[in-house]
Structure 1
């Protein structure tokens, strides 16, 4: 169960203070994980932070040479060639822990037709596959709804197994392509657990469009949580119909009920927030 949390909330775990306190064997176990749900630059930065702490534990100066030394073979568990080129050029390549040959070879690996052999793994981690719980059986649009004037669309949900909510799928414009600003929130008994403010572009179709939290939020079973969104956009949007109070998604059962926070009409039977995007 501990590995499930680390995988799903990998970036949060890697950036936590406690990460620097783990031993070298645990570090290697984490860096080996195929299902680690994190950008590789975050993995790299976490490994360097751990190395700095390990230098202090071993009473070594925190030089780049010593950081490389204490990392040992764990260094090659970081999948540096899978970073975005920009992340590599502005981060790892200038960190000082790579040799000049390694830096040169990785740059060639990114850009050259004939790629050099590397000691670093070049296959991206698989991470976790997000699942989607869709709570409506149909959707529609009308000439006078669904409209947004800064009001809140909200729904309550509960699960029978622990999951991690990564974001929501939202409806977009029913009048052609349009951009929306979305403030999403996740609460438990009024306490804010996660929020994000972002924009998404809809193409005029009845598809749902994902909006993500910065970090996935852990959801415990048999407790109701409140999913909310405040949308800002000029265009009317699609909205869900024939909502279900219970939805089976793989091995997880979701239950839905109306939320008193909802002031824009969303409820169990219809409205916005058609999808919860989650890791199980």
Structure 2
């Protein structure tokens, strides 16, 4: 019998053989729900070389014991993930498959595989699947894919709303579409008819009896985003007015404003726009969608009053709310790295001290920082994010730049969030509620106490005022 090592010409072939055969495996994964489970045998060293998440799972202070259960990934997607890790194989064949693999790649922080999946999704975007792609991109915080999807929705609206997929979108996605100034439609009645279809399907999903009262209830604010005043009186009277979704008072106010604009009071909750969506050219890309020149960067440094250092465990979150008094592009943040002057009375267990992922054996070469940072609006919608993985020095300040800048507007509240994934001691602190920097006033700690947790970890805001609209 020929030794298998002799027949495998490349490292990829040899690694693939180890995965397929399970030879020398030292960890196991039970993948999928009970009705469709599969056991995968793997090698901790190979997985750790590919993914910092696997490193934390298999070698870190919170290391899991075998077998490891993975219930939120299908066996097929997990196998594709393993094939990529062991042999660089990527075989994307369908929209659904790419979504599943992308989810797994995001979970285990394999950015190159995520990139392959999203590029495949870009190429496969069509009116029949663009709504699902938009929801996928929103769920997994892929802003570029979200923009590409919305571009197709606005430019090919008639084809998109002709599919049944529009009836399955989330309410928030429906609102996002209705907020667009440009939609490629012939009449606003097309949009109203979409709401009728969506509300019927939503009643069935809940489940509720399909009637006008329940349809109005499930539509909520979406019903008032329709530009009724762009319809003529006949179209409105034969459509929305007799649908039962609008109250008699709302219908009367709308039809009177269509016939005699401005002569009849229009309820504040109704859209008063008289400009058809099809008449508005697509909006140009915002300045925040492109990276700004390095010379425009400015810093808002928060003065910090030090507090006792705190031991941060895996996947602990920190957050800071803020607002500005003039528009700014937020590019990133600066956060402190772990410290070495830990409390002298803290005596970790020997097993924890010797755990490679615990970062308790401080060396001159620093440590591998692993965190996730994002910016969200007041509705908790993620506007930008970044996965940061890099070797950093202890007792230092680390700059973290987001995937793309965010245009922050005055009068709105935003939240910067951090998810720390490395066990270690971090410096805590408190700061003032207002800081003036380069002509901008930053206000911090706005809102409920629960919105601001360990906010002293955000030491500086990296921002720019170049290219922002005038007040």
TM-score, length of structure 2 as denominator length: 0.30
Which structure's residues are more often strand, by fraction?
1
Which structure's residues are more often helix, by fraction?
2
Bigger relative CO (Cα 8 Å, ≥ 6 apart): 1
TM-score, length of structure 1 as denominator length: 0.49
